[in-house]
């Protein structure tokens, strides 16, 4: 399967004749697991700092929620920039730079004295780093797998869930001993591990056909004469006259054979063979960012699905601990609720990957069912009034969130959306469109909380956004069918080239045949 390796090093690109569905892809999946843990895992665990930041800076829910809101907005808004840099400099360098930015922002945020400084350090600097680290990693992982893509991506993305499960209680306990500032500093230093993961992202090159080697001179000469002989055999004049001209070296007398060798084959045939065998086809220069996906109505509907679904991705994990505290649940049990949500998300991601790996199955319909069930989970949170009620809602929500969050970006590689060829550019545009809801989601929920004085109202805005997301997701497949029908040529055009053939196309040869037969009759 592997054609060649330029250097015996993990830094050299892998060249395959087809998608390997394994190989170095398992190392990339391992790196993606930790990138997920140290990016989205930290973002979802940031709720453990929520009350500490409110007390330290004496700010409202809405203003504190802007920290994660700006971070998510920058993460999604700069997705096209991440795509351009990846196509220009490669996945490895971009992820390494992203890891450095994430760590720098978190460490700087631990020394912040105002909430505005947190907006800049964690919101802008770390947010840009999250985009540069996450998007290239999930893109290159999709390139290494085809048949196993859904399952491998889902399992690798569980790093986010394990991070929430372990970080939430660990950071809560760590704050009791060293305070929230030193805990945030520790998290920033831990995120330097993304740099190491970036070095494991070995580039992949898919060559559909192997390079054709130039044959030996004698074999080329034989092939050329065979082509010339084939042209001579198909001549109607030669068939009528009964003469078969054979100019192959094997069928030519000695003197004539040596003459043919000295003179060489006809020039026209030589040029044709050189063009077919020795001149490689020029590959089109890849675009840094392909916005042609915006002409696809199916992709636009899918992007709008992502826009509204993002409202329900981050706000619940951000507000579940404040909601539990408002119901009189102590902080230790509140951390357990968030951890249970993360563990349920692990099983949700794995289950979705296993189901989507089955064939034949229309994956986008499975995702639609999961989005509807996720919306039901969001509507259920306001009806929970004790620890076990929140625990059940969190486990159900976590499971359904895993089925959607682990598949909505890799789903772009499916033919129902854009396909693997446009996956890189489509992912950049898709995440860019998500930026608006990433910016508005947490503050909108915080504004509702400040207005109603009830944390349950934050989940209503998430549920409303997820309901709109389900509507747009249901329109993706119909729009794709309409586009395919427009591209298909009408049946009438299939036979049109045959109708356009001139009536006198074969008259000259037929005329010669008639003249030849008349002359032979007269001789007889």
Q: Which two tokens stand for residue 191?
A: 């995120």
Distance CA 11, CA 446 (A): 46
Distance CA 72, CA 123 (A): 8
Contacts of 230 by beta carbon, 8 Å cutoff, 6+ apart: none
Helix %, strand %, coil % for the chain, to 5? Answer: 75, 0, 25
CA distances from 183 to 59, 330, 370 (A): 20, 20, 36
**pLDDT tens track of the chain, all 524 residues?**
544 444 445 567 777 777 787 788 899 999 999 998 999 888 878 878 888 888 888 887 778 888 888 888 888 788 888 888 988 888 899 999 999 999 999 999 999 999 999 999 999 999 999 989 988 888 888 888 877 877 888 888 888 878 877 887 888 888 888 989 999 999 999 999 999 999 988 888 777 654 445 455 555 665 555 655 555 555 444 444 444 444 444 444 554 444 444 444 444 444 444 333 344 444 445 555 666 677 778 888 888 888 888 877 766 777 787 788 888 888 778 878 877 887 888 888 888 878 877 766 777 888 889 999 999 988 888 888 888 888 998 899 989 988 887 778 778 777 777 777 777 677 777 877 777 776 677 677 777 877 887 777 788 888 888 899 899 988 888 887 776 666 665 555 444 444 454 544 444 454 545 555 555 555 44
Distance CA 23, CA 320 (A): 40
- How crowded is the C-beta side of 28, counted as CA atoms within 13 Å? 31
Distance CA 313, CA 440 (A): 12
Decide: 465 and 437 in contact? Cβ < 8 Å. Answer: yes
pTM over 0.95: no
Determine the length of the chain. Answer: 524
Q: DSSP states of 83-140 as a string?
A: HHHHHHH-HHHHHHHHHHHHHHHHHHHTT-SSHHHHIIIIIIIIHHHHHHHHHHHHHH
| CB burial of residue 335 (10 Å; 0-12, 13-18, 19+) | buried
Query: What is the set of domains in the chain, with CATH numbers?
Result: 13-211 (1.20.1250.20), 289-488 (1.20.1250.20)
Partners of 205 in the β-ladder = 15
Residue 268, SS3 per DSSP: helix
Decide: 470 and 378 in contact? Cβ < 8 Å. Answer: no
């Amino acid at each position: 399967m592997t054609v060649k390796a330029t250097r015996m090093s993990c830094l050299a690109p892998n060249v395959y004749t087809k998608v390997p569905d394994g190989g170095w892809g398992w190392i990339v999946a391992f790196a993606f697991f930790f990138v997920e843990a140290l990016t989205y895992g930290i973002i979802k665990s940031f709720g453990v700092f929520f009350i500490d930041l409110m007390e330290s800076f004496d700010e409202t829910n809405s203003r504190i929620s802007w920290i994660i809101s700006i971070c998510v907005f920058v993460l999604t808004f700069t997705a096209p920039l991440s795509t351009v840099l990846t196509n220009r400099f490669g996945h490895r360098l971009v992820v390494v730079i992203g890891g450095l930015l994430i760590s720098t922002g978190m460490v700087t945020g631990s020394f912040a004295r105002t909430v505005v400084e947190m907006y800049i350090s964690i919101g802008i600097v770390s947010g840009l780093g999250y985009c540069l680290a996450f998007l290239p990693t999930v893109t290159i992982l999709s390139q290494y797998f085809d048949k196993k893509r859904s399952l491998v991506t889902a399992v690798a993305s569980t790093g986010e869930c394990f991070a929430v499960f372990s970080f939430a209680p660990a950071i809560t306990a760590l704050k009791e001993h060293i305070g929230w500032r030193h805990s945030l500093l520790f998290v920033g230093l831990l995120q330097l591990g993304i740099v190491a993961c970036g070095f494991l992202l070995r580039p992949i090159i898919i060559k559909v056909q192997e390079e054709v080697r130039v044959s030996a001179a004698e074999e080329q000469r034989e092939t050329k004469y065979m082509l010339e002989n084939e042209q001579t055999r198909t001549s109607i004049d030669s068939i009528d006259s009964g003469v078969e001209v054979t100019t192959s070296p094997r069928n030519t007398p000695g003197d004539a054979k040596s003459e043919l060798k000295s003179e060489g084959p006809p020039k026209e045939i030589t040029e044709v063979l050189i063009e077919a065998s020795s001149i490689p086809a020029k590959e089109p220069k890849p675009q840094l960012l392909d916005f042609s996906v915006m002409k696809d109505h199916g992709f636009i509907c899918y992007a709008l699905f992502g826009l509204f679904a993002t409202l329900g991705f981050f706000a619940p994990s951000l507000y579940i601990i404040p909601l539990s505290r408002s119901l009189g649940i102590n902080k230790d049990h509140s951390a357990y609720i968030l951890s249970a949500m993360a563990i349920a998300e692990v099983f949700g991601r794995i289950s979705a990957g296993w189901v989507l790996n089955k064939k034949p199955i229309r994956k986008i319909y499975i995702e639609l069912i999961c989005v509807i069930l996720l919306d039901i989970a969001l509507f259920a949170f306001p009806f929970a009034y004790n620890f076990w009620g929140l625990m059940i809602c969190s486990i159900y929500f976590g499971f359904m969130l895993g089925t959607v969050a682990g598949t909505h970006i890799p789903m772009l590689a499916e033919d129902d959306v854009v396909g693997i060829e446009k996956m890189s550019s489509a992912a950049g545009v898709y995440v860019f469109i998500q930026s608006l809801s990433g910016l508005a989601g947490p503050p909108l929920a915080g504004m509702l909380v400040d207005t109603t004085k009830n944390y349950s109202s934050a989940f209503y805005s998430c549920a409303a956004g997820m309901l709109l997301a389900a509507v747009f997701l249901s329109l993706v497949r119909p729009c794709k069918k309409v586009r395919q029908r427009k591209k298909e040529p009408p049946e009438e055009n299939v036979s049109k080239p045959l109708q356009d053939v001139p009536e006198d196309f074969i008259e000259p040869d037929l005329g010669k045949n008639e003249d030849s037969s008349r002359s032979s009759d007269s001789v007889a």
